[in-house]
């Protein structure tokens, strides 16, 4: 099954008031975690990183990913979704990652892909301890709807329009669903023994 990984790394970190993706955990920048996990996984026909930051673009290219500069990130996350899809080759599915969720395991990525391979017309979502999260796989047949998103509207709107197409993969975890949006989130992660 051809699946494109699309990493959304062009948020403006409004709640953090600084570029959170460059903040470090154990001497590694937050965005580097998910890029390295995807590289290890080797599950995708292509990996596209949508970023507005030259350092992230260069790092992505050094990993042999396709990097796309988002010049309009101020218009919201729909711009990253569209750039990712429009920059991809033909794919049967699009797996969207967020760069501020650093602790996703390779085994979780593979479990989601396995489920999508069995149900290639469904939306596959990880459910961490009962809570929906990322990364999410959307089938090709929802491509046009994803491309029609505007402003700071993300894939959740498409999910809500197609609840009957959703398959949840249940994952018990202590940390994979952590995303770092605020300084409080960051400080909490620094105190954890995740890595």
CA distances from 169 to 124, 151, 175, 176 (A): 7, 29, 16, 14
Answer whether 111's CB lies under 8 Å from 176's CB. no
Q: Indicate left, alpha or beta for 2 from its phi (over 0: left) and psi (-120 to 50: alpha).
A: beta
CA dist 192 and 195 (Å) reads 8
Half-sphere exposure of 82 (CA within 13 A, CB side): 18
- Mean per-residue pLDDT of the chain: 91
Whether residue 193 has pLDDT greater than 70: no
**Structural domains in the chain plus CATH codes:** 3-191 (3.90.550.10)
Whether residue 168 has pLDDT greater than 60: yes
pLDDT in tens, 9-43: 987 655 556 688 988 998 999 999 999 999 999 89
Whether residue 62 has pLDDT greater than 70: yes
With cut-offs at 50, 70 and 90, classify the pLDDT of residue 184.
confident
Answer whether 105's CB lies under 8 Å from 18's CB. no
Q: What integer pLDDT is reported at residue 14 of this predicted model?
A: 57
pLDDT in tens, 97-155: 999 999 999 999 999 999 999 999 999 999 999 999 999 999 999 999 999 999 888 89
Whether residue 180 has pLDDT greater than 90: no
DSSP 144-187: HHHHT--TT--HHHHHHHTGGGEEEEEE--SSTT----SHHHHH
Q: What integer pLDDT is reported at residue 18 of this predicted model?
A: 62
């Amino acid at each position: 099954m051809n699946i494109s990984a699309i990493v959304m790394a062009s948020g403006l970190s409004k709640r953090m008031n600084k570029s959170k993706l460059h903040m470090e955990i154990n001497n590694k920048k937050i965005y580097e975690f998910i890029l390295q996990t995807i590289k290890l996984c080797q599950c995708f026909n292509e990996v596209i990183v949508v970023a507005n930051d030259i350092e992230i673009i260069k790092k992505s290219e050094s990993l042999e990913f396709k990097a796309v500069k988002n010049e309009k990130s101020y218009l919201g996350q729909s711009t990253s979704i569209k750039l990712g899809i429009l920059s991809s080759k033909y794919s049967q599915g699009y797996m969207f990652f967020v760069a501020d969720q650093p602790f996703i395991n390779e085994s979780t990525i593979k479990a989601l892909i396995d489920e999508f391979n069995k149900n290639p017309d469904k939306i596959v979502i990880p459910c961490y301890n009962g809570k929906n999260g990322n990364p999410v796989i959307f089938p090709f047949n929802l491509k046009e709807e994803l491309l029609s998103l505007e402003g700071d509207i993300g894939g959740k709107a498409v999910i809500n329009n197609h609840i009957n197409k959703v398959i949840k993969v249940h994952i018990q975890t202590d940390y994979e669903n952590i995303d770092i949006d605020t300084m409080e989130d960051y400080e909490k992660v620094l105190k954890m023994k995740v890595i």
